[in-house]
């Protein structure tokens, strides 16, 4: 194991430690409860966030779309994955604007994240949506407050999705994961999300050209 050289100044709440690579520094957040982050000095890249993005991409890649509730065509300009709670007010607002998201070229893949956890009403609603013959219609109806009279089915992916949400780093819903692994916490109106997605795509294209 390579020994880290400690150059931390306890008097500085954002002190730095030099890691084994001379081009990488670790910035301690001081009193902040968040984890230290690592930066590449030359590129100013937040390596910790880069690793988190890569981890989210890998985790979501392990879930086939057949185990999601998907709104939008496969050839859409953008695809996002949204962790949703049937009873979450802003999740319902996002879903009520689905036609606009799709119109702007955004395809939405839903995973379930009932915030109240197992054995709760929101959890059972998520299970009922999944066990419905037409899951897209069932999710729309459930988000409008309709009661779904559906027999529970097993297996269902609700527990898997819920655990995946924890692994991804969710703190609430809706949570939008972009194709590049970025995690957007909360609701974004269709036009704002489309703008963000276009900006990410432009940045990726410029990076590819630079290489």
Tell me how far the alpha carbon of residue 182 is from its chain's centroid.
Answer: 7
Residue 176: strand, helix, or coil: strand
Among candidate residues 38, 56, 87, 88, the one labeled active-site is 88
Which residue out of 56, 85, 92, 107 is catalytically annotated?
85
CA angle in degrees (0–180, nearest 5) for 199-201-207: 105
Catalytic, 91? Answer yes
Nearest-angstrom CA–CA distance, 107 and 141? 19
Catalytic pick among 91, 92, 107, 109: 91
DSSP for residue 194? H
- How crowded is residue 177: how many other Cβ atoms within 10 Å of its Cβ? 24
d(CA 74, CA 109) in angstroms, rounded, equals 11
Structure tokens at 136: 């897209």
Give strand pairing partners of 108. 71, 80
153 is catalytic: no
Give the burial class of 137: count Cβ atoms within 10 A of its Cβ; 0-12 exposed, 13-18 middle, 19 or more buried: exposed
Bridge partners, 16 (sequence order): 27
Give the H/E segment covering residue 141. Answer: helix 135-143
Q: Which of 38, 56, 115, 161 is catalytic?
A: 115
Active site amino acids: 85, 88, 91, 115
């Amino acid at each position: 194991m390579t020994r880290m050289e400690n150059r931390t100044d306890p008097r500085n709440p954002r002190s730095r430690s030099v890691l084994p690579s001379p081009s990488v520094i670790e910035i301690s957040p001081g009193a902040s409860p968040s984890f230290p982050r690592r930066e590449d000095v030359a590129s100013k890249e937040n390596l910790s966030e880069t690793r988190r993005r890569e981890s989210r991409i890998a985790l979501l890649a392990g879930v086939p779309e057949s185990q999601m509730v998907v709104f939008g065509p496969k050839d859409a300009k953008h695809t996002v994955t949204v962790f949703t709670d049937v009873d979450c007010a802003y999740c319902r607002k996002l879903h009520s604007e689905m036609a606009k998201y799709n119109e702007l070229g955004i395809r939405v893949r839903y995973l379930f994240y009932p915030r109240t956890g197992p054995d709760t009403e929101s959890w059972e609603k998520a299970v009922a949506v999944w066990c419905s013959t037409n899951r897209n219609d069932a999710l729309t109806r459930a988000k409008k407050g309709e009661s779904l009279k559906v027999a529970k089915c097993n297996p269902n992916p609700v527990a898997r999705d819920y655990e995946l949400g924890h692994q991804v780093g969710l703190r609430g819903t809706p949570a939008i994961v972009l194709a590049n692994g970025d995690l957007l916490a909360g609701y974004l109106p269709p036009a704002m999300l489309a703008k963000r997605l276009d900006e990410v795509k432009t940045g990726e294209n410029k990076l590819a050209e630079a290489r």
